[in-house]
């Protein structure tokens, strides 16, 4: 009997140890509190964001609400700017770039010249006066449950802290506990960086009112404390004494309704919300939160087998990966962390993830934390369809709809054109006019790029009703370019001008990227017209225009030309590589149809170099995956996941201790772009065929992935060992024909909606 008990105990210990290890694979953890914001851990529900520092003597939880911005409803267009369009074009045709830029700066730019900024809301500060000395500290972010936890011992007592931001209940919850009765003593209060602020305390409740200095937006945050201890309100804080546990519920609202309406009243949510807080059961709120979060997160799994450092704290693990990138599971954790960030910052009915997702602690954030549409806003959404988070795309679709409205005004005022246009930035007021400076702000294809996301959603979901609903947006974006394109006096081609190749080379006529985007947009409209059996005359018009648009060209150095003229500098190391858009995320340039252009694009990327800011590394990871070079792809992944703040690296991009992407400073786009590129090594479907393991690096010989999506309405799960595919399952969500390829083997087969098909590594059907 004793031997049986020992055996059972051993099995239980083995099982629990395996479970603990499995759980740790989805965690970031640390052995000390955060010293700064880039060590704090992010939480969010799409509308509310929080950064948890995990301090012992003092906990700071900095929080955001997605609609607190500077500014007010505003039309950014420059009235009658279109009168000067022909003159600007003529100057560019004559080679007078400086004169064209000067004129455009004077008469063609947005009014005002700059857009507005996303704002921090406030801080929840919790002080523990008797916790100076502590031990056994641990701080973690469980991305499988979207929970942040802190634990430590002080004065012989174990203290635990748990924080999450709930989407179902639209609140942040903080649970404090001690393992000794009555040992929990603390005070708490809210504060804000905003100059115009006030705090009022009433019993176990506190309200923070803020108003931004530049604009009309104001917000109200409030919390309630529920505890078994003694509660004493003071002027600007609440004291809790002799408690064993305490729960804090906090939420925030602003007067923002939409980009034209700021008439909401945060006060109207206050009393009902506080009454609700009093009736909530923490365990039920926690359960609903986890169920809601996991309904998205659990659809997709990825794991790379091999050496693991799951027992190494995340900040140290980043350093170890820099020294030795043999940590496959860290790479898969990075993908899941990006999915966590997406679910936390982009939920249906809200704003899309901005330049910092939903997290910002500065009144003047980098680049105003706007949506930069010449790469960054789009990059944020590269992983959503392929990693089974399709619903998270919806906020971006809403932004496109609203920008089409402001962009229609800009199209008329600036270009005398129909349809709608968007330049390289927009804010919560949906500014669409060119901003900042004429040498990089007059880039006209933001609307064309964003429109491709509508098409990508259709490609992955095969949702014909969605395509029908969004077709007017596609047509409006294309209509603008039918009016805007002009004949180049030298070549005779239709070209885009004035414009630029994003953030390099100044104001020009005919940048390659524009033409790639416009051709892609026209082809999308043509195919959508055929699918919907509508608008045939417009489709024919676009078909006739496509061959007239200036084509991709190979230059004197064997490179893909960035401009009409063959003037690329092979020594240029600029972070933007915009003229490779047709390689990724586009598909016009590929190994199957245009191998010579593909070689030229690769040569351009070799000239530009591997080094780059965080998001630039993210894009290059995707490029090299499309070039089918897995080892080069992994080299860039190594750079992206290495410590951004290590002086010895002397590189710009990388990862901060909390795994936020470093531009630097923090931009979230690299997190999303890098994750998308990792998946791009494993599955590609942009050419009508689903390619399995097209760019698998030597560093990832064994692994599995489940719930990954492909264009055509397919969901796949497969595993590989020693670099060879083992088994694959394909679920058909739309009943379309499936074309599957692995190495030199391929299979085409018809499918039925909802049915799953199984094949072995030789693509032989398993019956």
- pLDDT tens figures, 663-687: 999 999 999 999 999 999 999 999 9
Q: CA-to-CA distance for 567 and 569, rounded, in angstroms?
A: 6
Place of tokens 């309704």: 257
b/e burial code for range 108-138 (CB count within 10 A of at least 16 → b):
bbbeeebbbbbbbbbbbbbbbeebeebeebe
First-residue to last-residue Cα distance in the chain? 46
The 10s digit of each residue's pLDDT in 230-270 is 999 998 999 999 999 999 999 999 999 999 999 999 999 99
Between the alpha carbon of residue 431 and those of residues 50, 405, 643, 704, the distances in Å are 27, 10, 35, 43
Neighbouring residues of 232: CB distance < 8 A, sequence distance ≥ 6:
238, 239, 240, 241
Residue 634 phi/psi, 5-degree rounding, is -65, -30
CA–CA separation, 62 and 511 (whole Å): 43
pLDDT score of 646: 85
pLDDT < 50 regions, the chain:
1-23
**Three-state secondary-structure class, residue 478:** helix
Whether omega before 664 lies within 30 degrees of 0, making that bond cis, reads yes
Contact 568, 555 (CB under 8 A): yes
What tens digit of pLDDT does each residue of 31-74 get? 999 999 999 999 999 999 999 999 999 999 999 999 999 999 99
CB 89 within 8 A of CB 150: no
- Asked if residues 756 and 728 have their Cβ atoms less than 8 Å apart, the reply is no
Residues in a beta bridge with 676: none
Q: Where do the DSSP E strands lie in 349-421?
A: 371-372
Supply the pLDDT for residue 132. Answer: 87
Give the pLDDT confidence of 170-179 residue by residue, as tens digits.
999 999 999 9
Predicted TM-score of the model (pTM): 0.95
- pLDDT value at position 10? 38
- What is the pLDDT, as a whole number, of residue 12? 33
Closest of 104, 92, 93 to residue 438, by C-alpha: 104
């Amino acid at each position: 009997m004793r031997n049986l008990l020992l055996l059972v105990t051993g099995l239980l210990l083995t099982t629990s140890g395996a479970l603990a290890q499995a759980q740790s694979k989805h965690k970031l953890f640390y052995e000390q509190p955060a010293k700064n914001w880039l060590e704090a851990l992010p939480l969010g529900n799409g509308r509310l964001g929080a950064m948890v520092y995990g301090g012992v003597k003092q906990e700071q939880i900095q929080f955001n609400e997605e609609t607190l911005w500077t500014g007010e409803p505003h039309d950014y267009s420059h009235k009658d700017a279109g009168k000067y369009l022909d003159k600007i074009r003529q100057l560019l045709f004559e080679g007078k770039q400086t004169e064209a830029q000067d004129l455009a700066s004077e008469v063609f730019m947005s009014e005002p010249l700059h857009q507005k900024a996303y704002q921090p809301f406030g801080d929840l500060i919790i002080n523990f006066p008797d916790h100076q000395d502590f031990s056994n500290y641990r701080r973690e972010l469980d991305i499988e449950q979207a929970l942040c936890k802190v634990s430590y011992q002080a004065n012989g007592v174990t203290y635990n802290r748990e924080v999450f931001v709930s989407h179902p209940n639209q609140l942040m919850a903080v649970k404090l506990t001690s393992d000794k009765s009555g040992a929990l003593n603390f005070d708490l209060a809210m504060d804000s960086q905003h100059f115009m602020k006030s705090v009022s305390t009433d019993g176990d409740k506190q309200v923070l009112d803020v108003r931004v200095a530049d604009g009309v937006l104001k917000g109200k945050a409030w919390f309630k404390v529920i505890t078994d201890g003694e509660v004493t309100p003071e002027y600007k804080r609440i004291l809790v004494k002799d408690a064993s546990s305490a729960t804090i519920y906090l939420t925030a609202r602003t007067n923002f309704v939409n980009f034209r309406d700021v008439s909401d009243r945060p006060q109207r949510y206050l009393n009902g919300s506080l009454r609700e807080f009093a009736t909530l059961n923490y365990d039920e709120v926690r359960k609903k939160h986890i169920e809601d979060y996991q309904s998205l997160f659990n659809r997709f799994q990825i794991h790379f087998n091999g050496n693991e450092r799951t027992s190494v704290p995340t900040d140290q693990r980043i350093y170890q990966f820099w020294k030795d990138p043999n940590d496959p599971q860290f790479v898969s954790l990075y993908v899941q962390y990006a999915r966590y960030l997406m679910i936390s910052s982009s939920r249906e009915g809200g704003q899309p993830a901005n330049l910092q997702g939903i997290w910002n602690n500065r009144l003047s954030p980098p680049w105003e934390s706007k949506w930069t549409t010449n790469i960054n806003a789009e990059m944020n959404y590269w992983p959503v369809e392929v990693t089974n988070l399709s619903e998270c795309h919806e906020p971006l679709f809403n932004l496109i709809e609203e920008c089409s409205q402001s962009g229609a005004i800009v199209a008329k005022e600036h270009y005398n054109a129909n349809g709608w246009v968007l330049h390289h930035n927009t804010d919560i007021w949906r500014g669409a006019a060119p901003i900042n400076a004429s040498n990089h702000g007059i880039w006209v294809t933001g609307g064309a790029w964003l429109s491709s996301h509508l098409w990508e959603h259709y490609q992955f979901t095969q949702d014909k009703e969605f395509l029908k609903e969004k077709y007017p947006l596609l047509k409006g974006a294309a209509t603008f370019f039918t009016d805007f394109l002009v004949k180049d006096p030298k070549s005779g081609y239709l070209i885009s001008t004035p414009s630029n190749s994003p953030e390099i080379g100044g104001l020009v006529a005919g940048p390659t990227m524009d033409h790639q985007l416009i051709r892609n947009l026209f082809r999308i409209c043509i195919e959508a017209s055929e699918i919907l059996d509508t608008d045939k005359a417009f489709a024919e018009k676009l078909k006739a225009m496509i061959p007239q648009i200036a084509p991709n060209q190979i230059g004197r150095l064997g490179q893909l030309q960035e401009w009409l003229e063959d003037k690329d500098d092979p020594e240029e190391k600029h972070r933007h590589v915009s003229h490779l858009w047709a390689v990724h995320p586009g598909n016009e340039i590929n190994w199957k149809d245009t191998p010579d252009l593909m070689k030229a694009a690769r040569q351009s990327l070799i000239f530009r170099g591997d080094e780059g800011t965080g998001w630039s590394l993210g894009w290059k990871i995707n490029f090299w995956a499309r070039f089918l070079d897995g080892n080069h792809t992994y080299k860039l992944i190594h750079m992206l996941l290495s410590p951004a703040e290590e002086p010895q690296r002397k590189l710009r991009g990388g990862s901060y201790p909390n795994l936020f992407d470093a531009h630097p400073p923090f931009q979230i786009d690299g997190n999303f772009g890098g994750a998308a590129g990792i998946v791009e090594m494993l599955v590609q479907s942009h050419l009508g065929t689903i390619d399995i393991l097209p760019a698998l690096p030597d560093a990832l010989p064994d692994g599995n992935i489940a719930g990954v999506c492909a264009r055509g309405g397919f969901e796949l799960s497969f595993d590989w060992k020693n670099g060879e595919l083992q088994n694959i399952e394909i679920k058909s969500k739309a009943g379309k024909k499936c074309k599957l390829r692995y190495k030199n083997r391929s299979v085409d087969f018809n499918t039925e909606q909802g049915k799953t098909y199984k094949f072995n590594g030789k693509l032989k059907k398993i019956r």
